[in-house]
Structure 1
């Protein structure tokens, strides 16, 4: 390799930082440009002297300091390759990192050979979609697809309610009792019970609380109420 790969280490634990610096220093193809202990310092170091690769710890001064730093660095220097370092596989944080544009992630207990191999692969633009990463991406797509399916399903069910049924469900979700609804809407208890029975039938549920929980999780009920025609 004609040009050395310039690497910046961002890791808040000094023993790990020193270990990485030592082993990277043994590789003739790599030049260590800096070693910092926070996301803030990582941003400053990267902007002052842009490296080719950054080994970025996710959790430093804050739980997501590495994510925040990566976002800021890539906004100004999109060609920098960032490899996320983590002690555990937090799917949500890791997927957030990939969405930002980081090119790889590695566990901190990866072997020195794996770290160096990952750096070289990232530099050459051939960061592999390793099985564990592919699995996380598939899981995320499945989660998103499930959410979309659930969202549309629940939206269709809400659309099947009459205006009075929708009002009743909304009042129940707002903490009002059946007696409250009778007073608010000036109707008999038998009317409210009939509407609740109809709602349960349409949703194929035994409890109104199940329906309320589902609509709250998807933030749907208020959306439907606010956007319904007058």
Structure 2
């Protein structure tokens, strides 16, 4: 079996030493470098051209490994990058995969799982691990829900009067009813009626619910442009 050349990138010496022991315990794996930062990882990769990079995420900066993975993928598209990290945050996971990495597992993974990840990457057979698959399913569900809400809210906004749209914009900017009345130079009772109409159209009980949902969908930015 052809020797697989591996580069380690991790700022923690204990983690580097553990990975070095794992790699050195197998005859057809060859350690060609051990970087302590994302910057070093890119430099090592450019010079030594590894088959596999075992990359930590948080090194000299919280996203150093992700930045390094992106750079390595640009200059060495055939090099396979496996993230070994403690991070399970969805945003971090998706940011990592956007760089072109092939696998993502915890630093606490047992030796055999790390070796399997190396061989799978080398053979272009890296799996979508259950934890990642679950995150992807949740993300797709979140996007679908967000898209449905966006469509629903746009339909409502299309039926708002110009005055209601302006009141909604001011509510979303944090103004109270009295402040809106002063800003628009109208009676407070007029604003109360317009807010009541907004609640009815959005089918919500309080203005706070409407504001939270509109701001969560970033509709406020769109409303500012069109109002």
Q: Does the TM-score normalized on the shorter chain lie above 0.5?
A: yes
Contact 2:169–2:223, Cα closer than 8 Å, also in 1? no
Matched, 1:129 2:128: yes
Going from structure 1 to structure 2, the CA distance change for 1:175 and 1:90 (only over 3 Å counts) comes to: closer
The whole-number CA distance in structure 1 between the counterparts of 2:215 and 2:121 is 42
State the shift of 1:131 in Å. Answer: 2.1
The residue aligned with 2:177 is: 178
Q: State the number of aligned residues.
A: 227
The residue aligned with 2:108 is: 109
Going from structure 1 to structure 2, the CA distance change for 1:117 and 1:222 (only over 3 Å counts) comes to: closer
Output the TM-score relative to the length of structure 1: 0.92
Deviates more, 1:194-203 or 1:127-136: 127-136
1:107-126 per-residue CA deviation (whole Å, 9 max, x = no partner) reads: 11111111111101101101
State the shift of 1:177 in Å. Answer: 3.3
The residue aligned with 2:202 is: 203
The whole-number CA distance in structure 2 between the counterparts of 1:193 and 1:136 is 43
- Aligned Cα RMSD in Å? 1.6
After TM superposition, list the pairs within 5 Å mapping 1:51-130 onto structure 2.
51-130=50-129
Contact 2:52–2:122, Cα closer than 8 Å, also in 1? yes
The whole-number CA distance in structure 1 between the counterparts of 2:96 and 2:121 is 15
State the shift of 1:88 in Å. Answer: 4.1
The whole-number CA distance in structure 2 between the counterparts of 1:109 and 1:177 is 51
The whole-number CA distance in structure 2 between the counterparts of 1:23 and 1:119 is 11
The whole-number CA distance in structure 2 between the counterparts of 1:180 and 1:105 is 51
The residue aligned with 1:5 is: 4
Output the TM-score relative to the length of structure 2: 0.93
**Unaligned residue ranges in structure 1 (runs of 5+):** none
